Homo-oligomer: A and B are copies of this chain.
């Protein structure tokens, strides 16, 4: 029972750092001082192993960092701002940052493994739905301008977050974060409810 958890935790760790195809099962086993037998007792294949990691660990991780923080009745723009700020801050402080784990896997498996892509896209959809819902609720509560296209805003937000996490891995992550947040606020200012017209 504990072995299965350890395998999954270390698996996600290495898959995130080195990529799925560039991480061998032996890499994971070596790090845990386990043998092939232990692995194939718990999992059918490397793919099955990864899918279980997605469902057990990745989905929860995305939920706790990107979805749960934007739930609430306050101004969604404030919540999203803080959510992104926090997520990027942990990336800045992590000396070994490899970008957004979800976006990395999306990139790696796109066009290569449809089964895994379906599982990953499911997480993306959950994020998107929650973002749209939060924005619509914000519009209903008078925080957003009435003309805002919430689906479009969600797509724009997801895009910008995925992208900035890539840029942050290259150089000067703190500076990239600061610049990004300033323009995010700029964008939010342009879609928030205009107090003059209300």
Partner of A166, one of B106, B152, B171, B180: B106
Number of identical protomers:
2
- Chain A, interface residues (CB within 8 Å), range: 35 or more
A90 within 8 A of B: no
Counting chain B CB atoms within 10 Å of each CB, the highest count among A162, A182, A191 belongs to: A162
Give the Cβ gap from A179 to chain B, nearest Cβ, in Å: 4
A121 within 8 A of B: yes
A75 within 8 A of B: no
Asked if A163 and B103 make an inter-chain contact with CB atoms under 8 angstroms apart, the answer reads yes
- Hey, what's the 0/1 contact readout for A10-21 against B, CB within 8 Å counting as 1? 000000011101
Asked if B179 and A149 make an inter-chain contact with CB atoms under 8 angstroms apart, the answer reads yes
Partner of A190, one of B21, B22, B124, B187: B187
- Hey, what's the 0/1 contact readout for A164-177 against B, CB within 8 Å counting as 1? 10110111000010
A183: which B residues are within 8 A, CB to CB? Answer: 149, 152-153, 155-156, 187
Segment with Cβ contacts to B, from A26-34, A50-58, A108-116: A108-116
